[in-house]
Structure 1
Amino acid sequence: MALLNQKTLTKPISFNGIGLHSGKSVKLTVNPSEPDTGIVFKRIDLKNNNLIYPNFSNVTNTSLNTTISNESGVKVSTIEHLMGALFSLGIDNAIIEIDNEEVPILDGSAKEFIDKILKTDLKVSSNPIRIIKINKKVEFKEGNKIVSIEPSKLSLDIDFELKYENPIIGNQKNKINVYTDNLQNILNSRTFCLYEDIELIKKNGLAKGGSLDNAVVVKGDQILNENGLRNSKEFVNHKILDCIGDLYTSGYKIIGNVKCYQGGHYMTNQLLRKTFSNKENFSIIEVQEKHLPHTFLNRNLLKSIA
């Protein structure tokens, strides 16, 4: 079957852990689903109005995570790492059952999602995938933060820069092609915070489940995690992982060139809202095997990133 046809899992895959911000235990199962289903979250702890669609228009909170809600106010938070894993693996359709309000943080990256999913085969349908092709440059600014997306011939490039006064984080830059580059360092990179921000974050009711097992903590010129960083650009690489996951709330893969300076969940969401507010900015097209090279499916992810 064609690599560029829609894909789902061959069997359910479950994950157990705690929510980074809620601190609550949670079980999540990614289930196979039919072509053209898309990605759907289902709160199985609730009997009614329990389906939530991870669409940019349903994003209701972007403070330190991406939260989606339905019309009844039922929500699922911290979806970005799982969405980044599904995007990177080319999974188009899945029903994600979850028994609480927050996706488990696991190790703070997408690594455990990727590794476990890669242990099973994917089911390829006869339905071609759809992609979003960016036709015009769109830009969103707020203060010193800026994010933009513009046309690209055949790739999704993400060019990200972050800047911190902290000497360990400093000014980091990285640029990747999501469809052809080896994404191991992106998918392995963990969420992070400054030690001095922890108290304020917890006062705001967040990071109740945070620990050195699921986040990189930086204090002055030291990394408090025993084994240090997983890669030299782990901070900016994690931001790119978040960006990939948030971009998947567009519903499809994207062909475009994204540039981001000091961005995050809010900036990416606002960029998507602005892009899709005008039909001249984009096209949605079906992709047949003959129209694109196989590199559109990242073959670097067909092996474990352990």
Structure 2
Amino acid sequence: MSYLNQKTIKNSISFSGIGLHTGVNINVSIKPANPDTGIIFKRVDLHNNNIVYPNFLNVTSTSLNTTISNEFGVKVSTIEHLMGALFGLGIDNVIIELDNEEVPILDGSAKEFIEKIIPAGFEISEAPIKIIKINKKVEFKHENRSISIEPSKLSLDINFELNYENPIIGKQNNKINVYEDNLEDIFNSRTFCLFEDIEAIKKVGLAKGGSLDNAIVVKDNKILNEGGLRNSKEFVNHKILDCIGDLFTSGYRIIGSVVCSKGGHYLTNELLKKVFKNSQNFSIIEIKERNLPHTLINKSLLKSIA
């Protein structure tokens, strides 16, 4: 069976954890789904109108997380790390049931999602995958921040730069090929914030569940977390993780080259809106092994899947 065919998980998995922004405990079940189902979120705490699709047009907030909502106002927030894990594992179809409005933050990265999903196994269907191929360069700018995507032969490249005045974070840059590189550092990198921003974030009702267990906190020239950083580029690597997860709200894996400076959820969402506003910017291609011998799934994870 080809890795170019659509995949779901073989067995359901369940886990619980606190919501970073809601501060409440949430129970989640991820269940297998048929080909062409896509990724679906289902709020099982609600009986009606409880399906929410992680589509870029359904994104209703990009303030410190990605929140999606349906036409009835039912929302699911902080989806980006789980979406990044699903993208990296090449999962096309699952139903994600949760009993509250936020995906648990777990350790602040995608590490635990991947560790929970892989043991469930994978079911590979007969249906070929579809991908989005970028045909023209598209860019979006906001003040001193920018993001662009342009054509690429067979890869999804992300070149990300962040620039903080804080001496610990400073200016960081990393470039990765999502389908070829070892992305362990990307998936293990945690969300982060500056100590001086915490009070302001909590005043607007966010980060009620935030702690040193699920976020890196930087105060002046010191990291407050015991053990420090997991890798030398953890700050920019987490931004890349967010970008991967947000790109998956396009509905498919992408072939293109992304360059982002000082970006985040807002810029990525606006870029996708701009890309799909004009049908000349992209093509949706059904991939079969005979016409494209490429996994379109990160090769470094295949050993874990096998």
2:57 is matched with which residue?
A: 57
Cα separation, 2, equivalents of 1:265 and 1:289: 33
> What is the deviation of 1:61?
0.1
Following superposition, the deviation at residue 271 of structure 1 comes to: 0.1
User: In the TM superposition, what is the alpha-carbon distance from 1:294 to its structure 2 partner?
Assistant: 3.9
- Tell me, yes or no, if structure 1 residue 91 matches structure 2 residue 91: yes
Q: What's the CA shift for 1:297?
A: 2.4
Q: Counterpart amino acid of 1:233?
A: K
**Residues 114, 304 of structure 1: 8 Å contact kept:** no
CA shift at 1:2, angstroms? Answer: 1.0
Residues 304 and 3 of structure 1, relative CA distance in 2, 3 Å threshold: closer
Q: Which residue of 1 aligns with 2:230?
A: 230
1:38-77 deviation line (CA, Å, top 9, x unaligned): 0000000000000000000000000000000000000000
Q: For residue 32 of structure 2, what is the aligned residue in structure 1?
A: 32
Contact kept, 8 Å, 2:4 with 2:295, in 1: the verdict is no
Aligned to 1:293: 293
Q: SS of the counterpart of 1:217? A: strand
**Mapped partners of 1:169, 1:148: distance in 2:** 23
Matches within 5 A, 1:68-107: 68-107=68-107
Q: How far does residue 303 in structure 1 lie from its aligned partner after superposition?
A: 4.4
Match of 1:133 in 2: 133
3-state SS, counterpart of residue 274 of structure 2:
helix
Distance 1:34 1:97, change over 3 A: same
- Tell me the residue number matched to 1:197: 197
Q: Residue 12 of structure 2 contacts residue 120 of structure 2 at CA under 8 Å; is this kept in 1?
A: no
| Cα RMSD, aligned residues only | 1.0
Identical positions, percent: 73
Please give the alpha-carbon distance, in whole angstroms, between the structure 2 residues aligned to 1:290 and 1:77: 39
Contact 2:253–2:296, Cα closer than 8 Å, also in 1: no
Instruction: Confirm whether residue 21 of structure 1 aligns to residue 21 of structure 2.
Output: yes
Measured after TM superposition, the shift of residue 304 of structure 1 is 5.3
Q: Secondary structure at the match of 1:81?
A: helix
TM-score by length of 1: 0.98
Structure-2-length-normalised TM-score = 0.98
Q: Are 2:90 and 2:296, in contact at CA under 8 Å, matched by a contact in 1?
A: no
Match of 2:45 in 1: 45
Distance 1:297 1:23 in 2: 33
Spell out the pairing of 1:201-280 with structure 2 (5 A cutoff): 201-280=201-280
How many residues of Structure 1 are paired with residues of Structure 2 in the alignment? 305
| Separation (CA, whole Å) in 2 of partners of 1:44 and 1:295 | 34
The CA distance in 1 between the partners of 2:304 and 2:37, in whole Å, is 27
Checking the alignment, whether the CA contact within 8 Å between 1:16 and 1:27 is kept in structure 2 is yes
Contact 1:38 1:92 in 2 (8 A): yes
Displacement after TM superposition at 1:119 (Å): 1.3
Aligned AA (1:125):
S
- 1:296: how far off? 2.7
Q: Distance in 2 between matches of 1:21 and 1:43?
A: 17
Three-state SS of the structure 2 residue aligned to 1:160 is strand
CA distance in 1: counterparts of 2:45 and 2:180, whole angstroms: 39
Unmatched runs of 5 consecutive residues or more in structure 1? none
SS at match of 1:291: coil
Distance 1:180 1:99 in 2: 36
The structural deviation recorded for 1:293 is: 2.8
Equivalent residues of 1:192, 1:235 under 8 A apart: yes
* Distance in 1, Cα, partners of 2:276 & 2:196: 38
